[in-house]
Structure 1
Amino acid sequence: MKVAVVADEDTVTGFKLAGVKEASVAKEGDEFEDALYELSDEIGIVITTERIAEENRESLKRFRDRRDVFPIIVEIPDKHGSTQSQLQEMVKKAVGVEIDLEDI
Protein backbone atom coordinates (compact mmCIF):
# COMPACT_ATOMS: atom_id res chain seq x y z
CA MET A 1 0.00 0.00 0.00
CA LYS A 2 1.41 3.38 -1.03
CA VAL A 3 1.10 6.78 0.63
CA ALA A 4 0.45 10.05 -1.17
CA VAL A 5 0.36 13.65 0.02
CA VAL A 6 -1.95 16.34 -1.36
CA ALA A 7 -1.29 19.49 0.60
CA ASP A 8 0.41 22.87 0.74
CA GLU A 9 3.96 23.32 -0.52
CA ASP A 10 5.66 23.11 2.89
CA THR A 11 3.89 19.89 3.87
CA VAL A 12 4.57 18.29 0.50
CA THR A 13 8.26 19.23 0.72
CA GLY A 14 8.54 17.69 4.19
CA PHE A 15 7.00 14.42 3.10
CA LYS A 16 9.12 14.28 -0.05
CA LEU A 17 12.21 14.66 2.14
CA ALA A 18 10.87 11.77 4.22
CA GLY A 19 10.64 9.59 1.11
CA VAL A 20 7.02 9.91 -0.08
CA LYS A 21 7.17 9.77 -3.86
CA GLU A 22 3.59 10.69 -4.76
CA ALA A 23 3.00 14.24 -3.63
CA SER A 24 1.01 17.09 -5.14
CA VAL A 25 0.83 20.72 -4.13
CA ALA A 26 -2.87 21.55 -4.21
CA LYS A 27 -4.58 23.98 -1.93
CA GLU A 28 -8.11 24.63 -3.02
CA GLY A 29 -11.14 23.84 -5.11
CA ASP A 30 -10.71 22.11 -8.44
CA GLU A 31 -6.93 21.96 -8.02
CA PHE A 32 -7.36 19.86 -4.85
CA GLU A 33 -10.08 17.62 -6.28
CA ASP A 34 -8.16 17.05 -9.53
CA ALA A 35 -5.06 16.05 -7.55
CA LEU A 36 -7.10 13.43 -5.67
CA TYR A 37 -8.45 11.87 -8.86
CA GLU A 38 -5.01 11.79 -10.49
CA LEU A 39 -3.64 9.52 -7.77
CA SER A 40 -2.71 5.97 -8.65
CA ASP A 41 -5.10 3.15 -7.70
CA GLU A 42 -2.24 1.72 -5.64
CA ILE A 43 -2.55 4.56 -3.12
CA GLY A 44 -3.99 3.39 0.18
CA ILE A 45 -3.47 6.51 2.30
CA VAL A 46 -3.73 10.17 1.30
CA ILE A 47 -2.31 12.72 3.71
CA THR A 48 -3.54 16.29 3.70
CA THR A 49 -3.59 19.09 6.25
CA GLU A 50 -6.53 19.91 8.49
CA ARG A 51 -6.81 23.41 7.04
CA ILE A 52 -6.83 22.25 3.44
CA ALA A 53 -9.32 19.49 4.25
CA GLU A 54 -11.60 22.01 5.95
CA GLU A 55 -11.40 24.38 2.97
CA ASN A 56 -12.18 21.48 0.60
CA ARG A 57 -14.74 19.54 2.64
CA GLU A 58 -17.17 19.23 -0.32
CA SER A 59 -14.44 17.93 -2.64
CA LEU A 60 -13.43 15.35 -0.02
CA LYS A 61 -17.05 14.26 0.40
CA ARG A 62 -17.48 13.79 -3.37
CA PHE A 63 -14.22 11.86 -3.55
CA ARG A 64 -15.18 9.58 -0.65
CA ASP A 65 -18.65 9.00 -2.09
CA ARG A 66 -17.12 7.69 -5.34
CA ARG A 67 -14.69 5.32 -3.62
CA ASP A 68 -15.22 2.31 -1.41
CA VAL A 69 -12.82 2.12 1.50
CA PHE A 70 -9.51 3.18 -0.03
CA PRO A 71 -7.75 5.44 -0.04
CA ILE A 72 -8.03 6.48 3.58
CA ILE A 73 -7.68 10.24 3.95
CA VAL A 74 -5.69 11.35 6.97
CA GLU A 75 -5.82 14.97 8.08
CA ILE A 76 -2.76 16.23 9.94
CA PRO A 77 -1.92 19.62 11.49
CA ASP A 78 0.10 21.93 9.28
CA LYS A 79 3.01 24.10 10.40
CA HIS A 80 0.55 26.35 12.22
CA GLY A 81 -0.70 23.46 14.38
CA SER A 82 -4.14 22.00 14.93
CA THR A 83 -7.16 24.23 14.77
CA GLN A 84 -8.78 24.84 18.12
CA SER A 85 -12.25 23.65 17.14
CA GLN A 86 -10.89 20.35 15.88
CA LEU A 87 -8.91 19.90 19.08
CA GLN A 88 -12.05 20.55 21.12
CA GLU A 89 -13.94 17.96 19.07
CA MET A 90 -11.19 15.36 19.57
CA VAL A 91 -11.22 15.94 23.33
CA LYS A 92 -15.01 15.72 23.39
CA LYS A 93 -14.91 12.38 21.56
CA ALA A 94 -12.12 11.03 23.74
CA VAL A 95 -13.48 11.94 27.17
CA GLY A 96 -17.14 12.58 26.42
CA VAL A 97 -17.07 16.11 27.83
CA GLU A 98 -16.81 19.43 26.04
CA ILE A 99 -14.18 21.76 27.45
CA ASP A 100 -13.39 25.40 26.85
CA LEU A 101 -9.75 25.50 25.77
CA GLU A 102 -9.44 29.13 26.83
CA ASP A 103 -9.73 27.95 30.45
CA ILE A 104 -6.61 25.82 30.09
Structure 2
Amino acid sequence: YLPEINARNKQMQQAAERTAINAPMQGTAADIIKRAMVSVEDWLQEHHQNNARMILQVHDELILEVRESAVDKIRAGLEKRMSAAASLDVPLLVEAGVGNNWDEAH
Protein backbone atom coordinates (compact mmCIF):
# COMPACT_ATOMS: atom_id res chain seq x y z
CA TYR A 1 0.00 0.00 0.00
CA LEU A 2 1.46 3.32 -1.09
CA PRO A 3 -0.50 6.24 0.39
CA GLU A 4 2.08 8.71 -1.02
CA ILE A 5 0.84 7.94 -4.54
CA ASN A 6 -1.89 10.56 -3.92
CA ALA A 7 0.38 13.07 -2.20
CA ARG A 8 0.30 16.70 -3.23
CA ASN A 9 4.07 16.80 -2.96
CA LYS A 10 5.20 15.87 -6.47
CA GLN A 11 8.48 14.28 -5.34
CA MET A 12 6.70 12.03 -2.85
CA GLN A 13 4.13 11.08 -5.47
CA GLN A 14 6.80 10.27 -8.07
CA ALA A 15 8.78 8.17 -5.57
CA ALA A 16 5.62 6.18 -4.80
CA GLU A 17 4.95 5.73 -8.53
CA ARG A 18 8.50 4.40 -9.06
CA THR A 19 8.01 2.01 -6.16
CA ALA A 20 4.70 0.80 -7.59
CA ILE A 21 6.29 0.13 -10.97
CA ASN A 22 9.48 -1.44 -9.60
CA ALA A 23 8.03 -3.75 -6.94
CA PRO A 24 6.39 -6.26 -9.32
CA MET A 25 9.58 -6.48 -11.39
CA GLN A 26 11.74 -7.10 -8.33
CA GLY A 27 9.29 -9.68 -7.04
CA THR A 28 9.27 -11.46 -10.38
CA ALA A 29 13.07 -11.45 -10.53
CA ALA A 30 13.20 -12.91 -7.02
CA ASP A 31 10.78 -15.66 -8.03
CA ILE A 32 12.83 -16.48 -11.13
CA ILE A 33 16.12 -16.78 -9.23
CA LYS A 34 14.41 -18.98 -6.62
CA ARG A 35 13.15 -21.30 -9.35
CA ALA A 36 16.63 -21.36 -10.90
CA MET A 37 18.18 -22.20 -7.53
CA VAL A 38 15.86 -25.14 -7.00
CA SER A 39 16.47 -26.49 -10.50
CA VAL A 40 20.26 -26.09 -10.26
CA GLU A 41 20.44 -27.61 -6.78
CA ASP A 42 18.33 -30.63 -7.79
CA TRP A 43 20.54 -31.18 -10.86
CA LEU A 44 23.75 -30.83 -8.86
CA GLN A 45 22.56 -33.24 -6.17
CA GLU A 46 21.45 -35.80 -8.74
CA HIS A 47 24.36 -35.64 -11.19
CA HIS A 48 27.28 -33.62 -9.85
CA GLN A 49 27.34 -33.97 -6.08
CA ASN A 50 31.13 -34.47 -6.04
CA ASN A 51 31.92 -31.84 -8.68
CA ALA A 52 30.06 -28.70 -7.65
CA ARG A 53 28.03 -27.03 -4.97
CA MET A 54 26.03 -23.85 -4.84
CA ILE A 55 27.46 -21.63 -2.12
CA LEU A 56 25.82 -18.22 -2.49
CA GLN A 57 23.10 -16.21 -4.18
CA VAL A 58 23.60 -12.48 -4.74
CA HIS A 59 20.63 -10.70 -6.34
CA ASP A 60 20.30 -12.42 -9.73
CA GLU A 61 23.53 -14.41 -9.49
CA LEU A 62 24.32 -17.89 -8.26
CA ILE A 63 27.84 -18.58 -7.06
CA LEU A 64 29.08 -22.14 -7.27
CA GLU A 65 32.24 -23.86 -6.18
CA VAL A 66 33.24 -26.24 -8.97
CA ARG A 67 36.06 -28.71 -9.49
CA GLU A 68 38.32 -27.41 -12.21
CA SER A 69 37.89 -30.59 -14.27
CA ALA A 70 34.09 -30.10 -14.34
CA VAL A 71 33.88 -26.36 -15.08
CA ASP A 72 32.77 -26.63 -18.72
CA LYS A 73 30.10 -29.26 -18.04
CA ILE A 74 28.74 -27.43 -14.99
CA ARG A 75 28.78 -24.09 -16.79
CA ALA A 76 26.73 -25.44 -19.72
CA GLY A 77 24.22 -27.15 -17.42
CA LEU A 78 23.95 -24.08 -15.22
CA GLU A 79 23.22 -21.76 -18.16
CA LYS A 80 20.62 -24.20 -19.50
CA ARG A 81 18.78 -24.51 -16.20
CA MET A 82 18.89 -20.84 -15.32
CA SER A 83 17.62 -19.74 -18.74
CA ALA A 84 14.73 -22.20 -18.41
CA ALA A 85 13.68 -20.97 -14.95
CA ALA A 86 10.79 -18.95 -16.44
CA SER A 87 8.86 -18.78 -19.68
CA LEU A 88 8.86 -15.19 -20.86
CA ASP A 89 8.00 -13.37 -24.08
CA VAL A 90 11.66 -12.34 -24.28
CA PRO A 91 14.70 -14.58 -23.91
CA LEU A 92 16.05 -15.04 -20.40
CA LEU A 93 19.73 -14.45 -21.01
CA VAL A 94 22.29 -16.09 -18.75
CA GLU A 95 26.00 -15.38 -18.58
CA ALA A 96 28.35 -17.54 -16.55
CA GLY A 97 31.77 -16.31 -15.53
CA VAL A 98 34.61 -18.38 -14.13
CA GLY A 99 37.30 -17.31 -11.70
CA ASN A 100 39.05 -18.10 -8.46
CA ASN A 101 36.78 -15.58 -6.72
CA TRP A 102 33.63 -13.58 -7.40
CA ASP A 103 35.57 -10.57 -8.67
CA GLU A 104 37.52 -12.63 -11.20
CA ALA A 105 34.34 -14.31 -12.45
CA HIS A 106 33.00 -10.93 -13.56
* TM-score in same-fold range (> 0.5): no
TM-score (norm 1): 0.32
Higher relative contact order (CA 8 A, sep 6+): 1
Q: Please say which structure displays the higher CA radius of gyration.
A: 2
TM-score (norm 2): 0.31
Which is richer in strand? 1
Which is richer in helix? 2
